Structure 1
Amino acid sequence: MKTRLPLNTLLGTALLSLGLGACSNLTPPVASSAPPATAKTAASPAATTDPDYEAPAVARPVRKPLVAPAPIKFEDAITRAGDQLFEDTLAELGKGKRAVVIDPLIDANTGAQTVSTVKMGQQLEALLKKRHTNLSIKPLTRQTLAEQPLLLIGTLTPVNVERAIDTPPDAFRVWLTVIDLRTKRVVAKQIDRATVASVNPEPLPYFRDSPSWHKDKTVMGYINSCQVNTQIGDPADPDYLSRLPAAAVLNEALIAYNDGKVLDANRLYKEAAGLADSGDLRVLNGLYLTNWQLGRRDAAQDAFGKLVASGLEAKRLPMKLLFKPGTVNFNDVGDLPTQYQLWLATMAREAGKTPACMKVVGHTSRTGSASTNERLSLRRAEAVVKLLENRDAKLRARLSVGGAGSREALIGLGTDDQRDALDRRVEFRVVDCI
């Protein structure tokens, strides 16, 4: 028997990968939120008696395509997008009372929470309370998730409207999405843009301090559910939804860490480890940071070893080995030199356990000329390779170097401070041995 399935035009996750994700400015395809047509319909007697019965085509409402408007001040862009999102949600579900839970909003290039993503969530919460009282805000906890509320997710990402390579961003793109946890489907989406000067992309303390960060499976599930990979009516990413209980615990842990409650954060990260994906970077970075700050060096090294192993399995591990401006010398602020020694020793040990080859790629921020950045990034990669080879001579035959300059900047502001620290990273990429 033939089954009619709706055609969903999906854009691949390549749009969200390093570089392309920051420059993507495509208009997502239009989709209806009407439930998919099925081969049989209970409303027709023929459907229950004729095995070859096919339901007639159902007229679907025409939706306007989502088009990002011209950038405006951040606060105004969030209000504009939020108002439309909540109106669309109520139009889709009716005016009945529903609870809304916010899974903390993130930067889609890095997966990190920033000063402005936090502000975005706070502003949307205030907007709900003031103008959309049929929707009541509730905290992200395992108990509230069990009540199957509406889930609000969103991203804030630096983009270049002209999609030019190695060019500073000229806007921040806002994506907002509402998922109904009763049906596990997307019920509303909205896109907007904010001016660069009105956004503060500085990461929160936890993300600032984490030694490694990239878009693991859980973060990619969040982004895929939020952005162009889903249309209204589509199911949200199942891997992402399955990890929501872990997200609730990790949210508590992050709040505790940012408030300086390191012991409480450590306990919560341990609890989350049993709920999250085994390679969840929020857990592994959290366990490393809290154990290090509590003076538990062996536990910290064990957590970092798992972090490295997870990165090598994913064939990509960015590390925030920060250098002094214009040099190949590491930043010597605080205890960073001591931490870097642990990172490199663990990296050499874990790399020595696998026969895989690795390419060490240096990156720079968008300060200075492209040619200068190219040379500097290569020199930094060479310096790191030398340090690894000093720890394990057998790695010499399996390590190569590359310099990306600022071409693959994740933030791209060229501020050379904590706001664009991830632009000055060193990445370890698993490659084929030659």
Structure 2
Amino acid sequence: MQVTMIGAGYVGLVSGACFADFGHDVCCVDLDPGKIDRLHAGVMPIFEPGLADLVAKNVKAGRLTFTTDIAEGLAKAEAVFIAVGTPSRRGDGHADLSYVHAAAQDIAKQLTRYTVIVTKSTVPVGTGDEVERLIRAANPDAEFAVVSNPEFLREGAAIEDFKRPDRIVIGTEDARAVAVMTELYRPLFLNRSPLLFTARRTAELIKYAANAFLATKITFINEIADLCEAVGADVQDVSRGIGLDNRIGSKFLHAGPGYGGSCFPKDTLALVKTAQDFGVPVRIVETVAAVNDTRKRAMARKVVAAAGGEVRGKTIAILGLTFKPNTDDMRDSPAIAIIQALQDAGAVIRAYDPEGTEQAKLVLKDVHYAQDAYDAAQGAEVAVLVTEWDAFRALDLDRLKTVMAHPALVDLRNVYRPEEVRARGFTYASVGR
């Protein structure tokens, strides 16, 4: 099939490359000429394991192309995916749909045959209705259907998630659109990936509800971790004890510094705003968002305590900057709030991340960026493990101790066993233990 992706960012590029790998002909359209030039040169705009090889393979096979010309990109399209950003709007937290609306109007000008227009971007309930209205107003004679097909890609495992999904949610009640979407995803039938067809508004809400529920699990176990510290229990054992219940499950029950990234923070806020607009407030999700915001800066207090109650003029080593491993995404990373809180208290920050340094430089100031974990720890009073990259899971603690001014480790991901770290002469603090 002929597929067009409007937007060659995280969702559009990964989805486009995977569709091309299924055998479809895919054109990714992006208005950023620098990004398209880099893609033509084989340079990825994001870090995602395996993506560069997948893109190169399908470009070489002639199934994947890139352009800034939307007319060229839509010339033969049977399905057009809108995969542009929907960041939180300043002021009210609602999803900014300006890029989605602009894409819809651009698409409308090019429609000459029946085309399925698919919103892949995460959008509030009712966005599909507005996209349809905009296209109809701009091109009254166009034959098309607007479909909701939310993405459920985890950064760092996006290709695997696309090719072996838990489910594929498709929101449409148009028979021709059902046939097109079924054919698009036909290669996944071999993996028995279920296609869930729903009404369009239902599909839009499924995405937000899923992310809000996962954010709630994370926030729940973080609050239980705080209780564990107060009563002398171990949150990791609590997590295992409740996670073995099939009704609960073990995923997203890992205590830490709070959730971040491109999805959970903005999607919980957008769901809260949508619910308020419809007069049906979602109090649990409101609380989840509020608790998560305060938790990140609260983690800085653990660091201050490990430094003896005062960090002014002291060097603090931050190990990990991205919101999770295997990505360079800094959006709403806990490291940002932690570092800013420590800087507000007068600390000097040395930091290292295997992939996130360049993105971190765009949002963090007055930070010394190190070459590796041991360089970051030079002269530090405390080393803080913020992101659980593999590179930090087996640190040479004896070497770390020799370069630090004081051997103290704050492990915000519970990577290490307390008794082993303390046996090496470190002061050690973790989460919920």
> Quick check: TM above 0.5?
no
TM-score computed with the length of structure 1 as normaliser: 0.29
